[in-house]
Every structure is written in C-alpha cells, then in structure tokens.
Amino acid sequence: MDMTFGDAELAFQQEVRDFIAANLTPDMKRAESLNASVFSEPETGVPWQRALNAKGWGAPGWPVEYGGPGWTPAQRWIFETECAHAGVPSPTPMGVKMVGPVIIGFGSPEQKNYFLPRILSCEDYWCQGYSEPGSGSDLSSLKTRAVRDGDEYVINGTKIWTTHAHNANMMFALVRTSDEPRQQDGISFVLIDMKSPGITIRPILTIGGDHEVNQVFFDDVRIPSSNLVGEEGKGWTYGKYLLEFERGSGIASAKLRKALHRTAALAESDATGRAIEDPDIAIRMSEAEVDIDALEMTELRVLSALQNGQNPGAVSSILKLRTSEIYQAVSRLGVDVIGNDGLYVEPTRPLHRLNAPPAIPEDELAVMPTHLNGRAYTIFGGTSEIQRDIISKLVLGL
C-alpha cells in the first residue's frame, strides 16, 4: 500500500497542470472564487467544459467508445485534485454526469448518436426534472403525467428545485405513464425540449440571494415518443442508477480542502483581524482538516478497489453524507472567521460582475451566501436522513 504516485502518474499530473495553466483564464478563476452557488454560472461553466472537451477530457466517467478518456481511477483522482486545487469552474453535472450515463446505459442508438456529442460540447444545456412539490424524499410518489397520444407524449404537472432550468434547453425527467400498485412502477424517463410550448419557469431565490433553482410547470407539453429513454415504465430503475452515479461520482475531498484553504487564508488576513489567533478557530480548522483527511482516505480506498476491479460496496452513501456535513462545517467556520463582515450581504449576482467596491473585502463576499445556500447540501440528492436509511440497509443489513 502506498499513497505516492509512480512516474506515469506524475507525468499525467504535469499534463493536467499544463492544461489548466493554458485554459483557466484569470477571469474564470475570479468568477469561480466568487461563486456562492453550488455550480458555476453557464458563462464560466460552459467555456471550461468546451476546453475540456477539446482536449478529449469532456467526460472522465464515460466509456472510451462514447468519448471518455479511458483514465485509470488514479488518473481520475489526479485530475479532480488538480482541478480543485487550481479552482477551476464546476459545470453543472446534469449533462455529463447524469443524463449522459443513462443514455449510454439505456438509450437507443439514435439517442446516443444525437445527444452524447451535444452533451460533451455543451450544445445542449441540461436540467433535471425529478422532485415535485409533493414528492421530495418520497420521490417515487411523483405525479407529473405523460399520456401517450399517437407518436407523442402529452405532459402535465410540475417539477421543482430545477437547477439552471432558466439556462437549459433540455430537461431529463421522471414522469408517470401509468398507475400501478407499486408507486415505483409506471414511471418513465423522458427527454424534454425546454422551448416546447406550455412550459413556464418560475424562479426560486435561495436564502443566499442566488437564482440557481426554479419551479417548472408543464401545461399540455408535447414531446415526440422517440424521447422516451429505454422502456416505458422502467424509469425508476434508470433514475436510481443515475442517483447512485450522482452520489458515487464525486471526488469531493479535494474541493473541500480548497474551501478550507480559502477559509484559512481569510483567517490569516488582516481583513478578519487575523481570526486564526483565536485558538478555537485554529483548532476547528484542524478538526475540519482531519475530517477531510479521513474522507480523502475513504475515497482513495474506493479508488483502489475500483482500480483492482473490486466492488467498493455501499460507500457512496457514506461519502455523500460525510461530504455534505464537512462542507457545512467548513462554511460555518468561514462565517465565524469573517465575523462582523458577515452582516453585509451583497445582492449583485453574479458577484464577479460587481461594479462598485463592496462594503467588505472582496475575498469575504461569497462566504455568507455560500454558507446560507450550502444548507442545501444535506438536503439535495437524497437528504442525510435518506442516506442514513440507505446505509442502514446496505451496510448494516437492517
């Protein structure tokens, strides 16, 4: 067992660093450091995704035949770590990490040929239609209905928490196509053109002051039946596959470490009156770092198992649970570090477009909105309570 990189891995690390140096512009970097949302705005996320795609790195998790780079898990680790360290944009995962794998796994040849290249190039910008006002953690109780009419489906209902629906031209959604005794049955996975007549988008502002999510209404929206993925009524299986992908695809420790480094830099600055000199802040910083160390080791253990063709087991829920909790601990620490400056909440969005000098140092601007919006981490993608249910079933056999 060792944690060091071999020559080939070191060479790859250098290649990633060179790529980042050549493609990460100072504007992108600044925009990302001032991003208080979960994901980057399209104006930074899309150019970054296109640069990755031009290099052949647009979809690290995809099989080579569909455009994946064919990386080993260790290479994937190095890539994610270097990206986090450099502070590159975080494009939304809805295309590459979510609908892409479902289309690869269950889509028709026509869907693969048409959609996959458009995902890689960001020609299509995707959003996800899963949650509904009445269906949060109990997702399979969803009611948005698609009724077959000739070679079309007619969709009525509403979706909520739809990240970047206002930027997207495509949505993948779970809809009810029939009523069955088990609520997980009768759900289908469909692809919806967001320009279709009958779609209304209502913005929802989160408590940090950001417009990232929306509610989307469907009023007799027609989509071609060829936009059904896989078989009618099997959508729950595909949706669960995607959720497991969502939970397991993250190499999160490097991003958390970056967030902690940002907080540490603030704590060491005169802007915060050198908050680090408060022993309580210093020690909590170490507590967060040690938690990140533990998360990193768990991620590396999973990667090593994958590298050797082993099944890492049901750890993706453990990683999701801990990542979200540690993220919130770091953001809470950030709030304590900036102290009184947390009282100032800058309303301009995106923050990097701010014209007038803010009332507080620029480095502090994103701290409070990040903390406020970040309360969603233990809620989206399956709440911490749902993760504990899953862990108790899968790990403990309860």
Token code pair at residue 330: 């770091």
Quick one: 149 or 287, whose CB is closer to another protein?
287
246 is catalytic: yes
Cα(256)–Cα(36) distance, integer angstroms? 14
Size of site (CB under 8 A) for another protein:
46
Give the nearest distance from C-beta 107 to another protein in angstroms.
Answer: 34
Residue 301 binds to another protein (criterion: CB under 8 A)? yes
Give the nearest distance from C-beta 390 to another protein in angstroms.
Answer: 9
Choice among 82, 246, 296, 364 that is catalytic? 246
Phi, psi of 378 (to 5 degrees): -90, 10
Give the nearest distance from C-beta 315 to another protein in angstroms.
Answer: 7
Per-position x/- string for 366-395, each x denoting binding to another protein as judged by CB under 8 A, each - no binding:
-------------------x--xx-xx--x
From the list 77, 70, 27, 79, the residue with the least C-alpha distance to 52 is 79
Per-position x/- string for 100-139, each x denoting binding to another protein as judged by CB under 8 A, each - no binding:
----------------------------------------
Give the nearest distance from C-beta 279 to another protein in angstroms.
Answer: 6
SS3 224: strand
Name which position in 121, 178, 184, 307 contacts another protein (CB under 8 A).
307
Quick one: 64 or 294, whose CB is closer to another protein?
294
Binders of another protein in range 259-288 (CB under 8 A): 264, 276, 279, 282-283, 285-287
Q: What is the DSSP annotation of 13-70?
A: HHHHHHHHHHH--HHHHHHHHT--SSS--HHHHHHHHHHHHHHT-S-TTS-GGGT---
Can you name the residues that pair with 160 across neighbouring β-strands? 215
Q: How far does the chain reach from its first CA to its final CA, in angstroms?
A: 33
Residue 293 binds to another protein (criterion: CB under 8 A)? yes
Quick one: 75 or 188, whose CB is closer to another protein?
75
| CA dihedral of residues 88, 93, 96, 102 (deg, nearest 10) | 160
Cα(85)–Cα(255) distance, integer angstroms? 7
Beta-strand ranges (E) seen in 167-210 are 170-176, 187-193, 199-205
Amino acid, res. 212: E
Binders of another protein in range 68-87 (CB under 8 A): 74, 77
Give the nearest distance from C-beta 364 to another protein in angstroms.
Answer: 19
Residue 330 binds to another protein (criterion: CB under 8 A)? no
Q: Which stretch binds another protein (CB under 8 A): 4-12, 32-40, 154-162, 179-187?
A: 4-12
Strand 126-129 relative to strand 170-176, pairing = parallel
Name which position in 31, 175, 315, 360 contacts another protein (CB under 8 A).
315
Query: Using an 8 Å Cβ cutoff, are 78 and 107 in contact?
Result: no
Alpha helices, H only, 252-366: 253-267, 279-307, 315-338
Give the nearest distance from C-beta 333 to another protein in angstroms.
Answer: 12
Active site residues: 246
Residues at the site binding another protein, with contacts judged by CB under 8 A = 1-6, 9, 74, 77, 264, 276, 279, 282-283, 285-287, 289-291, 293-298, 300-301, 303-305, 307-308, 310, 315, 318, 321-322, 385, 388-389, 391-392, 395-396, 398
